[in-house]
Structure 1
Amino acid sequence: MNLKQYLIEEWRQLARVNRSDRPWEMPVAAALCMGAPIFAGAAMDDIGLGLAASLGGLVFLHLPATGLAHRMSWLMACAFGMTASHALGMLGHLVPALVVPMIVIITILVMMVCRFYAAPPPGGLFFVMAAAIGAYSPVHGRDALAQIGAVAAGGVLAVAIGFLYSLHIVSRRGHPEPLRRPTPSLDTVVMESVVIGGFVGLSLLAAHALQLTRPYWVPVSCLAIIQGASVRAAWSKHLHRTLGTAAGLLVFLGITQIPLGPWGTAAMVMALALVVETLVVRHYGLATVFITPMALLLAEGSQGNALAAPWTLMEARLIDTVVGAIIGVAGAACLHNTRFRHWAGSRLRRLWPG
């Protein structure tokens, strides 16, 4: 394939828009899960706790298209996992040297669960994001405990909204057909999870080595890429994420020029969440344009000094995304390489009991 054909193929991949059968109520419910906690925080004059609770609201995005009983049990498990991930990340404040090993262990455990149950996207992404944000959060002591409680409260709200949404959708569309899940294997569940955790840890070490100011975005970007079903999918996601982030930073710059205040921040996050969940199944790159400002508002919105200097924040986010995406593509190449899989799998089998 010559350069011209390669560029044409890449453009086709970038421009492809997928069809979606997602009901319109789903983005609305997701936006409510993320926006309502921030409105509550604004009403209590504590936007920081509202934003933390909104992080717990991301649990709603793990709602599976299954029967009602399974939907709710899975969503409640995800709410617990999100809270636990954030709390374990917060423990990094006590021993900073343990942050990287802790993020690696959390990633491995989360990915093992997701691989065993064949969890659909977003997979383990938000759990690792919650842990990473917690590990580098500026709050300590009682404020840290309050933030963990806020994440748990946001998860509970997401479960409640998920229950009402599921009742509505099941009554309208009926019970979905049972999904055929692949039989879990040692390679899929353990080996792939260990490799993914290793590369996520490597990306965080790279962030520290480069002395990046907000290293938590690097492992998140790495995991978003390495979760791809193939090297081709990982590379496409890398392009979508990098270009979408660059465009999204311009959107974020425009948002910072608006005097939002707590109530305006809540409304903006809700609007962005609605757009993201409408677009993400159709075109990941376009969705990333709006994911970027939404994620920055969630992680940085409680720190007025950070939003007052948007160029510094934008530069940090772009560098973090590029570094994480490069390591993520390298990890995906290893993960889908037959020789590497055989080498890694054979060594894990020696350690695995039975």
Structure 2
Amino acid sequence: MDVRLRTTSAWGTPNWQLLRAAHRPELRPALRVGFGLAIPGIVLLILGHGELMVYAVFGSVVGMYGRNPNRLQRLKDQALAAAMMLAAGISAIFIAPWHLAPWPFLAAGIMVALCSSLCSDRFGLKPGGSFFPLFAFGALGSLPVGEQLATSGLAAFVLTAMFSIVLGQTTRFVGSERRNTGRGLPWQEILRRAGCYGCVVLLAGSIAMLLGVDHLAWVMASAVVPLAAGNARGRLSRGAHRVAGTVAGLLVLLGIYSLQLPEVWLGLAVIFLMFPTEGYMTRNYGLALSFFTPQIMLMLELADPSVDASVMLERALANLLGVSAGILGALFFDPKQR
């Protein structure tokens, strides 16, 4: 039997080139999204409002949706993404002073998952799914803002999202960028997928509350991660990347904490981490999360200085529970191969 090492992919591309591409960041989108956060973020730090960085980070996520070389289609994609993100984030900002109990908060999260899945699938938005809108809703809706509406945070969130759209229109793209034709899935498939997202979030949140696990926002967001893959093997891989990236990110976070940086430098670290997060998001999901995890942890700490090591460990465990429930839920609610 002639056994040889396969050196090419199914498309005729050498495997070593595919491997190298997976470990090379996408510089153009990384710079666009990074500067979409860097400029508003530096303004916030100069004004002495590092606690508002969390709002700016989620506003800058709008920049991740603008990869189409066609300027008009890119504007449509980002406008739709902005509407989706702003609907989730503004709703969260308005309910934050109410300090919702876990079950009503979960119900609201399910609605966000359903609506964002419908929107992203109907218009073919990339990245697809409910992860970013749902995470924005959970994180901003659970911030300890007291009894007053966080109007400064609302302004930072909206202005950063609008700035990301402007930045997307002033950037020159090449044909190799990820395309979106603006055409989504058939309605039957759209509704089926939205139902899967809602059921998975319900399952993960219910398990978390029955087990007494806090940080429901992390559980909900992590639960929808496996659904981005189209089959059982891909979902296991996606979930494993999520867990491995989170663990690696916690190690990065410990390294940053060991430096005992002042608030301004922590804010700059949040800004810097956005560049590799977006650079690797489509090439190496696990590596991207190793940067995204400390970024999220740091920006939430800036918003809530009472966060300590035990809280971070609890968030990591909530992340693991959410991924596990998401993989389990996908097997029951979304068995169809995509």
Residue identity opposite 2:202 in structure 1: G
Q: Is the 8 A contact 1:228 1:234 kept in 2?
A: yes
Which of residues 21, 25, 42 is equivalent to 2:28?
25
Mapped partners of 2:53, 2:264: distance in 1: 11
What is the CA-CA distance between 1:58 and the residue it aligns to? 1.1
Give the number of aligned pairs.
317
1:101 aligns with 2:103: no
Mapped partners of 1:89, 1:333: distance in 2: 30
Q: What does residue range 235-250 of structure 1 map to in structure 2 within 5 Å? A: 235-250=236-251
Residue identity opposite 2:266 in structure 1: T
1:169 aligns with 2:173: yes
- 1:267: which partner in 2? 268
Residue identity opposite 1:137 in structure 2: L
- 2:12: which partner in 1? none
What fraction of aligned residue pairs are identical, expressed as a percent?
Answer: 20
Which whole-Å deviations, capped at 9, do the CAs of 1:145-174 have from their partners, x for residues lacking one?
332222111101111111112xx225xx59
Residue identity opposite 2:275 in structure 1: L
- Normalising by the residue count of structure 2, what TM-score does the alignment of the two structures yield? 0.85
Cα distance, 1:335–1:230 mapped onto 2, change above 3 Å: farther
In structure 2, the residue corresponding to 1:271 is in which secondary structure?
Answer: helix
Mapped partners of 1:111, 1:64: distance in 2: 19
- 2:76: which partner in 1? 73
What is the CA-CA distance between 1:338 and the residue it aligns to? 5.0
Cα distance, 1:174–1:328 mapped onto 2, change above 3 Å: closer
- 2:44: which partner in 1? 41
1:322 aligns with 2:323: no
Mapped partners of 2:147, 2:156: distance in 1: 15
Q: Is the 8 A contact 2:222 2:326 kept in 1?
A: yes
Which of residues 184, 187, 197 is equivalent to 1:185?
187
Mapped partners of 1:51, 1:178: distance in 2: 28
* Structure 2 unaligned regions, length at least 5: 1-17
Q: In terms of mean alpha carbon deviation, does 173-182 or 97-106 score higher? A: 173-182
Mapped partners of 1:174, 1:299: distance in 2: 35
Residue identity opposite 1:216 in structure 2: A
In structure 2, the residue corresponding to 1:45 is in which secondary structure?
Answer: coil
What is the CA-CA distance between 1:64 and the residue it aligns to? 3.4
Mapped partners of 1:122, 1:281: distance in 2: 12
Which whole-Å deviations, capped at 9, do the CAs of 1:290-318 have from their partners, x for residues lacking one?
12101112223222221xx23x1331122
* Structure 1 unaligned regions, length at least 5: 1-15, 342-354
Residue identity opposite 1:45 in structure 2: G
Residue identity opposite 2:313 in structure 1: E
Mapped partners of 1:293, 1:177: distance in 2: 30
- 1:113: which partner in 2? 119
Residue identity opposite 1:319 in structure 2: L
Q: Is the 8 A contact 1:39 1:50 kept in 2?
A: no
Mapped partners of 2:160, 2:186: distance in 1: 31
- Greater fraction of residues in helix: 1
Residue identity opposite 1:78 in structure 2: A
Aligned alpha-carbon RMSD (Å) = 2.7
- 1:296: which partner in 2? 297
What is the CA-CA distance between 1:126 and the residue it aligns to? 0.9
Mapped partners of 2:258, 2:196: distance in 1: 42
- Normalising by the residue count of structure 1, what TM-score does the alignment of the two structures yield? 0.81
Mapped partners of 1:335, 1:323: distance in 2: 18
Mapped partners of 2:68, 2:97: distance in 1: 38
- 1:279: which partner in 2? 280
